[in-house]
């Protein structure tokens, strides 16, 4: 569908290959791009900017909170560990539509519906479980004696965290952050209910497009998103291997 008839012909017709829809996607509405059936607007670009804005802020908050939660939960004498873990993970399991409905009622009362703050906070809640899971996985086999060693040498807790713990679990934190980012970046349901036109994101724009008609522009965006996810997946895979090397676990 990104392709036109000419591309499938043999011998290939060079005329048929074009980046017309890509130009439409980035908001270039010059004469040779505009067509009667596909509307041209800067919405896609606006959506991209918003998606990154919301995604990045949500990722930063979720990563910070998730890492701290994972550190606390992996202490051996943490009380109510199972319960806290179950509650933290629940946004991942509870149907999004229920989360969205509940948050909508709650936000309506405290005036957060249709604001960036509201959307970002909702995304933080959804993304934190992923950080908790990945960081907890890195902390398995983490030698707690190193913390004791650092403290016995006089390091304050903050210094211990940044100089000793953080470098060792960094791969886990980063891959958790990437998970968090892709979660927020992909999220449709929350955005659908809680965002107005000002908080338009890529998924919301795609959703609106798919419901009417699948235009070539949507497929262009889809291609871009697939490329992005391939990139992120590669990064995570590399990080995982590095983390296993760091912790001295043999790769499987």
Q: Which residues bind other proteins (CB under 8 A)?
A: 1, 82, 85-86, 89-90, 92-98, 100-102, 104-106, 130, 133-134, 136-137, 179, 182, 185-186, 188-189, 192-193, 203, 206-207, 210-211, 214, 218-219, 222, 225-226, 229-230, 232-233, 236-237, 240, 251-252
DSSP code string of the chain: --S-HHHHSSS--GGG---HHHHHHTT---TTT--SSS---SHHHHHHHHHHHHHHHHHHHHHHHHHHHHHHHTSTT-TTHHHHHHHHHHHHHS-HHHHHHHHHHHHHHHT-TTSHHHHHHHHHHHHHHHHHHHHHHHHTT--THHHHHHHHTT--HHHHIIIIIHHHHHHHHHHHHHHHHHHHHH--HHHHHH--GGG--HHHHHHHHHHH---HHHHHHHHHHHHHHHHHHHHHHHHHHHHHHHTTPPP-
Would you say 58 or 150 has its CB closer to other proteins?
58
State the minimum distance, in angstroms, from the CB of residue 228 to other proteins: 9
State the minimum distance, in angstroms, from the CB of residue 36 to other proteins: 20
Would you say 94 or 166 has its CB closer to other proteins?
94
State the minimum distance, in angstroms, from the CB of residue 220 to other proteins: 11
Would you say 160 or 193 has its CB closer to other proteins?
193
State the minimum distance, in angstroms, from the CB of residue 32 to other proteins: 25
Q: How many of the other CB atoms lie within 10 Å of CB of 173?
A: 21
State the minimum distance, in angstroms, from the CB of residue 7 to other proteins: 15
Cα 211 to Cα 25: distance, rounded to the nearest angstrom: 18
Would you say 149 or 249 has its CB closer to other proteins?
249
State the minimum distance, in angstroms, from the CB of residue 59 to other proteins: 15
Would you say 34 or 140 has its CB closer to other proteins?
140
Would you say 156 or 252 has its CB closer to other proteins?
252
Per the CB < 8 A criterion, the answer to whether 187 and 126 are in contact is yes
Would you say 124 or 150 has its CB closer to other proteins?
124
State the minimum distance, in angstroms, from the CB of residue 27 to other proteins: 20
Cα 85 to Cα 73: distance, rounded to the nearest angstrom: 8
């Amino acid at each position: 569908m990104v392709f036109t008839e000419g591309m499938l012909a043999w011998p290939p017709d060079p005329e048929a290959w074009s980046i017309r829809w890509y130009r439409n996607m980035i908001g270039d509405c010059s004469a040779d791009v505009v067509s009667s059936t596909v509307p041209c607007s800067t919405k896609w670009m606006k959506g991209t900017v918003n998606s990154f804005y919301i995604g990045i802020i949500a990722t930063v908050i979720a990563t910070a909170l998730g890492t701290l939660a994972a550190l606390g939960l992996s202490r051996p004498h943490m009380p109510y560990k199972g319960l806290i873990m179950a509650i933290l993970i629940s946004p991942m399991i509870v149907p999004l539509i229920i989360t969205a409905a509940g948050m909508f009622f709650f936000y309506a009362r405290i005036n957060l519906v249709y604001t960036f703050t509201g959307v970002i906070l909702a995304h933080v809640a959804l993304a934190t479980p992923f950080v908790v899971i990945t960081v907890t996985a890195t902390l398995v086999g983490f030698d707690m004696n190193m913390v004791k060693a650092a403290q016995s040498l006089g390091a304050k807790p903050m210094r211990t965290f940044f100089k000793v713990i953080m470098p060792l679990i960094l791969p886990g934190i980063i891959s958790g952050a990437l998970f968090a980012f892709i979660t927020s970046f992909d999220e449709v349901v929350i955005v659908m209910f809680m965002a107005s036109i000002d908080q338009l994101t890529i998924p919301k724009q795609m959703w609106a497009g798919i419901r009417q008609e699948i235009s070539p522009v949507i497929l262009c965006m889809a291609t871009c998103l697939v490329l992005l996810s391939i990139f992120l997946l590669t990064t995570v895979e590399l990080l995982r291997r590095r983390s296993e090397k760091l912790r001295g676990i043999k790769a499987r």
